[in-house]
Amino acid sequence: MHRPDSAHSHPMTDAEAAAEAHRLITDAYRPTAYRDTAPVPAYGPTPPVVQPGRPPMSQGATDASVLMLAGGATTAMVGGTAAVLMYASQFADPVVCGLVFGAPTALVLALARLAKRAKPAPDVHHHYTGPVYQDQRNVHTTTRGVWAKTTHQH
């Protein structure tokens, strides 16, 4: 087959051009595959692989970023609503709108502080080398009446 880029070329015939076009299209749409031939570790942790989406972060950083995104969206919606209301009414008092529409933002900030304080209890792990006896008891406390009497039951 003669190609136009060769040194002594002549124009291709229609059959040659069709065959070349078919070859180019076939090469372009040929499925490709890759097989990783690196050996898998026999034991131990496998190295982490970054997944698509958000970059890897600690749990605290993830919680903080979600909280910031939610707070930003809430602030934008509240501010947009206030702006539309003031523009549409041509009479709305900016101070009153600031108080009314600022309340949800203050609520979100208060909830954020509360969520920051409420951390889950840490996991406790015990490692023993000998015979162990564990006694776990629940204590129920009851307080009743104007003059309180507290009783503990084991």
State the pLDDT at residue 14.
92
| pLDDT of res. 80 | 85
The pLDDT score that the predictor gives to residue 149 is: 66
C-alpha triplet 72, 76, 81: angle, nearest 5°: 150
Cβ-contact 152, 143 below 8 angstroms? no
Per-residue confidence (pLDDT) for residue 16, from 0 to 100: 92
Q: What is the pLDDT of residue 15?
A: 93
Give the pTM: 0.31
Per-residue model confidence as pLDDT tens for the chain (154 residues): 555 555 556 788 999 999 999 998 888 887 777 777 887 767 777 777 777 777 777 888 888 888 889 888 888 888 888 788 878 878 777 777 777 777 777 777 787 777 777 777 777 788 888 888 777 777 777 766 666 666 666 6
Domain ranges of the chain: 67-117
